[in-house]
Amino acid sequence: MRSGAQVRILRAADRAAAVWKNGGGVTREIAVFPEGAGMDDFVWRASLAEVAADGPFSAFPEIDRTLTLVEGAGMDLKVGGVRRLVNERFAPQDFPGDEPTACRLLSGPVVNFNVMHRRGAAEVATAVVRGRLSRAVVSDETLLVLALEGAATVRVGRGPTLTLAPYDAVLVMGDFLDYTDVSGHAALVCFR
């Protein structure tokens, strides 16, 4: 591993649950930039949300969202009055966070992987992968790998191989080459 690389392992067991204001679910923050930022001043934020009831999503002015269904049958959303069916697991969907969004669960609770970023302050790309993937990361990038289903192994440069259980993550910043080997599904999010 080159000296410029920084690696943080983010274990699922270490995340606290925050209950939504409307009581319809809970959120567990995985990572936020800048570190320690709140809901009003983050540049980007990644979290897992457990949606337990129908209801509105919170509005986030000037924020774009990528939502990936991980568990459950899915949701029937209305985003800015336009219907959007979210019923395919591991298929990231982008939508504006400042549009009024209503949610109706299709058949019981769901778990979503949610990535939000402030428009104009960050570029974000989210993909869900299986198998082995090699990726070069440059100095102005941050890469988040989140095991969604099954295990994932990640190796950064010449460092040790890291094993991620479901919902464990690794956040990698710096200039290095890494690989990811996924037995199930993992989300890869690149922040620039």
Any idea what the CATH number is for the domain that residue 28 is in? 2.60.120.10
pTM score of the predicted model: 0.91
Per the structure, the complete domain to which residue 68 belongs is given by 15-118
Question: What is the chain's alpha carbon radius of gyration, rounded to the nearest angstrom?
Answer: 16
| Same structural domain, 102 and 43 | yes
Where b means 16+ CB within 10 Å and e means fewer, 90-118 reads bebbebbbeeebebebeeeebbbbbbbbb
| Number of domains, the chain | 2
Residue pair 172/5 in contact (Cβ under 8 Å)? The answer is yes
Asked if 48 and 98 sit in the same domain, the reply is yes
The whole-number pLDDT of residue 133 equals: 76
Q: Are residues 167 and 136 in the same domain?
A: yes
Cα–Cα distances in angstroms (integers) from residue 136 to residues 60, 108, 172, in the given order: 32, 40, 11
Portion of the chain with pLDDT greater than 70, in percent: 91
Report the range out of 18-27, 112-121, 160-169 with the highest average pLDDT.
Answer: 112-121
Residue 138: pLDDT above 70? no
pLDDT, mean of residues 126-133: 87
Domain identity same for 68 and 133: no
- Amino acid identity of 18? A
Please write the tens of the pLDDT for every residue from 50-80. Answer: 999 999 998 899 999 999 999 999 999 999 9
At 155, which amino acid appears? R
Give yes or no: residues 60 and 97 share one domain.
Answer: yes
Q: What is the mean pLDDT of residues 102-123?
A: 96
List pLDDT tens digits, range 144-189: 999 999 988 887 777 788 899 999 999 988 766 566 778 889 999 9
Are 109 and 136 found together in one domain?
Answer: no
Q: What pLDDT was estimated at residue 3?
A: 45
